[in-house]
Amino acid sequence: MDLFEQQDTATQEKTQPLAARMRPRTVEEVVGQDRLLGPGKLLRRAIEADRLGSIILYGPPGCGKTSLAEVIARVTRRRFERTSGVLANVQILRGILQTAEHRKKNKGQETILFIDEIHRFNKAQQDVLLPYVEQGDITLIGATTHNPFFFINSPLTSRSQIFQLEPLVRADIVTLIDRALTHEHGLAHLKIRMDAEAKTHLADVCEGDARRALNALEIAALTTEPGDDGVIHITRAVTEESIQKKAVVYDHDEDEHYDTISAFIKSVRGSDPHAAVYWLAKMLYAGEDPRFIARRLIILASEDIGNADPRALTIAVSALEAVDFIGMPEARITLGQATTYLATAPKSNRAYLAIENALADVKEGRTLPVPKHLRDGGPVGHKKLGYTGYQYAHNYEGHFVDQEYVPTSKVYYEPGDQGYEDTIRKRMEHWESLREKPRTGKKKRS
């Protein structure tokens, strides 16, 4: 690189957006992916030893896929070529690939080909990559926000290692903000005082997207007039305006977090879908992890609905899977559907009480022995050990036979009269009428 090229590069860097200027330059500077890049982790070892093969980086926007690709190229000192699933066609790809092949054969220099949004390539475009990846003419680094097992051809995924990057958490974003305020490539040339609540608001509402947070920080810094002391004061109100999102009172690890999720769960339990979706909206707007909400709905589906509507648990589990698969902001629709379904479902806590009462008896009382006719003596040992007398229920009318399954007559599960549990209750009452010794110790229904 000659003097003029160096000057052009320096000028270009100064005019780049803050998010681009603050890209990490070493593995140590990468924030938020310790699961993959922490000391001793596989990906980090492969990068530092320059033994990295083709990989696909899968994760949400702004989690560091492009930054990591550039760090890999810099650490391994390979030629870095980049293109996009939006821009490149087959002809462009062939040109890049053939040049990389020629470079390796004639100069011994290896090439990293970084393809952003690789999921946008059609089958023909992906197939063009295969022979070059297989022969090692290029090291492919693909970046995608879509599940690679669904959107990338299996021959390509089988030749690549897939690494899933996680959204950055609040502490990671705050770290990046602090770094940008003081780094020579960032905003160190400006005198900026940024309030702590402004940082946390920005970190919360950017939903794990570092690029979005840094873009908003740059807007806030460049559009806020300095005070008489020449200092740019960035308050929470300034960050609200710069990111076009109002701050709501919601601290993710303190009272407001727990109070809001409590109100949400109690609204669903209390069959008020209007209140439930309001608290859901507040949490989502404030940047709550949608997976946390979905997990709480799964617990509620068993604890507060149970067998009154067994489909509730299926819907709640499906909601969690959908949230993981599609992410925000679309996941709000799935969470809204699951919330309103569970809020309007018939309610029962009888299954929850059953397991709690049984656990209490196991913990506090004498452990009951398994009746001999229910024990497993193996194909030969039943008669020798006296494990005989078991009656196979399917051999009897109604697939029911009166025999002892536990040496106690205590009642644990008493179905209510809500929804499907009413059907279960009538079925159990019928079976009870067929027993010679009805169960005792029934509790008053609550």
Judge whether residue 342 has pLDDT over 50.
yes
pLDDT digits (tens, 9 = 90+) for 78-124: 899 999 988 888 899 999 999 999 999 998 889 999 999 999 898 88
Can you give the pLDDT at residue 5?
Answer: 47
- Whether residues 79 and 135 share a domain: the answer is yes
Same domain, 174 and 151: no
Please tell me whether residues 187 and 159 are part of one structural domain: no
> What are the tokens at 178?
């602090």
Specify burial of residue 214 (Cβ count, 10 A radius: 0-12, 13-18, 19+). buried
Tell me the C-alpha distance between 173 and 64, whole Å.
12
What does DSSP say about strands 55-58 and 161-164: parallel, antiparallel, or unpaired? Answer: parallel
Among 131, 146, 164, the domain boundary falls at: 164
pLDDT 10s digits, 12-30: 566 789 999 999 999 999 9
Average pLDDT of the chain is: 87
Taken as a whole, the chain contains a residue count of: 446
Residue 237 lies in a domain: yes
Closest CA to 350 of 437, 402, 415, 294: 415
pLDDT at 151: 86
Domain match, 220 and 299 both: no
Q: Which of 217, 243, 269 is the last residue of a domain?
A: 243
Q: Is residue 26 in some structural domain?
A: no
> Quick one: which of 275, 280, 309, 273 has its CA closest to 296?
280
What type of residue sits at position 299? I
Q: Any idea which residue has 């960035």 for tokens?
A: 234
**Is pLDDT above 80 for 262?**
yes
Percentage of residues in the chain having pLDDT higher than 90 = 52
DSSP category for residue 192: E
| Residue 17: φ, ψ to 5° | -60, 155
Place of tokens 């489909």: 311
Could you tell me which of 216, 227, 238 has the C-alpha nearest to residue 191?
Answer: 227
pLDDT at 86: 85
> Which of 26-40, 203-217, 252-266, 289-303 reaches the highest mean pLDDT?
289-303
Determine the pLDDT at residue 380: 61
Residues 74 and 25 sit within 8 Å (Cβ to Cβ) = yes
Which of residues 387 and 331 earns the better pLDDT score? 331
Does residue 329 have a cis bond before it (omega within 30 degrees)?
yes
Each residue of 167-178: pLDDT tens digit?
Answer: 898 899 999 999
Q: Is residue 129 part of a domain?
A: yes
How many Cβ atoms are within 10 Å of 219's Cβ, its own excluded? 17
Choosing from 243, 275, 297, the residue where a domain stops is 243
What is the reported pLDDT for 32?
87
For the chain, what is the domain count? 4
Show the tokens assigned to 46: 């492969």
Could you say which DSSP state residue 370 is in?
A: P
pLDDT at 11 over 60: no
Same-domain check for residues 149 and 64? yes
412 in the same domain as 327? no
Q: Which CATH number goes with the domain that contains 147? A: 3.40.50.300
Q: Are residues 298 and 380 in the same domain?
A: no
Quick check: is 283 in a domain? yes
- Are 165 and 37 in contact, with CB atoms under 8 Å apart? no
* Side-chain-facing half-sphere of 115: CA atoms under 13 Å: 27
Backbone angles phi, psi at 234, to 5 degrees: -100, 110
Domain limits at 86?
33-164
In a domain, 446, yes or no: no
- Please tell me the predicted confidence (pLDDT) of residue 87: 86
Tell whether 335 and 381 lie within a shared domain: no
Residue 63 lies in a domain: yes
Tell me, yes or no, whether 249 lies in a domain.
Answer: no
The per-residue pLDDT for 1 is 47
